[in-house]
Amino acid sequence: MVQEKLMEKDDWQQRTELLLGEEKMNRIRNSHVLVVGLGGVGAYAAEMICRAGVGRMTIVDADTVQPTNLNRQLPALHSTLGMSKAEVLATRYKDINPDIDLAVLPVYLKDENIPELLDVGKYDFIVDAIDTISPKCFLIYEAMKRRIRIVSSMGAGAKSDITQVRFADLWDTYHCGLSKAVRKRLQKMGMKRKLPVVFSTEQADAKAVLLTDDEQNKKSTCGTVSYMPAVFGCYLAEYVIKRL
């Protein structure tokens, strides 16, 4: 019985190895992934990467769990209200894989501290799930300058049709306000390299977009259905896992 339980414990990554192969799994185990933004999209991306067996991960988010997060965000429970999203998820991910080398940074990224973040860690991939324009674009800019592979999430808010979620180059996206804003900012920064992103071709529901003055660094907020950010997060995880 003890032997069977040990085999069951050791089997959780073997199921992924059956699909991806031993060589691929070894690369995943020896990889370091940075996930920035742990809201509706980023937390799911990080979890799927964790469950795939990645050896090292750094997660970054300064936010705490709020009641408005309950409809869509992985760390959001009534029991976690007011707690750090990064710390809640760190406990969860360590419970999934106790052997993961996990760095937890509950900090708000600003332009000036992004270069230091990228220089101290030897990242094999970056997942950008930031929804604030300035740090999002600066992270993309600095990652691309350093030739660190990065995949970025565009807007999942005000959309509801998962069949219209796509991978694309940022410069080929449409029907996405966040993509448009990111393109405009990157052009001003002198960066127009190809950037893989996840976006939706669906037209945003104008009724779901509201102006706001109570969210940090945001002029508007979007209504979001429970499943849409999770789908975006799974797309991001797929992109990373297949390319490690």
Residue 206: CB partners within 8 Å, gap ≥ 6? 158
- Whether the pLDDT of residue 126 is over 50: the answer is yes
Other Cβ atoms less than 10 A from the Cβ of 187: the count is 11
What mean pLDDT is predicted for residues 149-173?
96
pLDDT of residue 220: 56
Q: At what angle do helices 42-51 and 227-243 cross, to 10 degrees?
A: 40
Other Cβ atoms less than 10 A from the Cβ of 179: the count is 22
- Whether the pLDDT of residue 51 is over 50: the answer is yes
Is the pTM value of this prediction over 0.85?
yes
The helix (run of H) or strand (run of E) holding residue 32 is strand 32-36
- Whether the pLDDT of residue 89 is over 50: the answer is yes
In one-letter notation, the amino acid at residue 189 is M
What mean pLDDT is predicted for residues 81-98?
98
Burial (CB < 10 A; 0-12, 13-18, 19+), residue 177, is: middle
